[in-house]
Amino acid sequence: MEITSSELKRCVLVNINGRIDGSSAPEMEQALKALMDSGHYRLVLDIGGVTFLSSAGIRVLVSTWKTVRRFNRGDLRLANVPPRISEVLDLTGLNDHFAQFSSNVEAVGSF
């Protein structure tokens, strides 16, 4: 799994590529926690390159979403969600919790 982030004026854009499974989810959690610890609570996750999302990855998404929304500090938006990942989120009932956008520009502009 590969994670890169770039600070924008309105938020931080995080690009994630590869598989998010039990072995790579802790790495993703550490990267997102480091962003939140440095005061960034408006996050856009570009998951267009994600090929697999396990329950460990879903746990990281949910815990990050809860943390950024605590005390109305920010939000977590998903961009370029692949159809298979969208199906997983739909099956788990999380589609309603994550705002999904078809491009990074739309997701960043939503803040």
**Residue 68: which domain range?**
2-109
In the chain, the percentage of residues whose pLDDT exceeds 70 is 100
Looking at residue 71, its pLDDT comes to 82
E strands, 11-98, where? Answer: 12-20, 42-53, 75-79
Confidence check: pLDDT of 95 > 90? no
Average per-residue pLDDT in the chain?
Answer: 92
Tell me, yes or no, if the pTM score tops 0.75: yes
Contact 61, 88 (CB under 8 A): no
The number of domains in the chain is 1
Per residue in 57-79, pLDDT (tens digit) is 999 999 999 999 988 889 999 99
CA separation, residue 60 to residues 9, 25, 39, 87, 103 (Å): 25, 7, 18, 18, 22
CA separation, residue 23 to residues 20, 55, 76, 93, 105 (Å): 8, 12, 23, 24, 30
Per DSSP bridges, beta strands 75-79 and 99-101 are parallel
Give, in degrees to the nearest 5, the angle at Cα 104 between 25 and 82.
55
How far is it, in rounded angstroms, from Cα 48 to Cα 83? Answer: 10
Looking at residue 66, its pLDDT comes to 93
What is the CATH classification number for the domain harbouring 28? 3.30.750.24
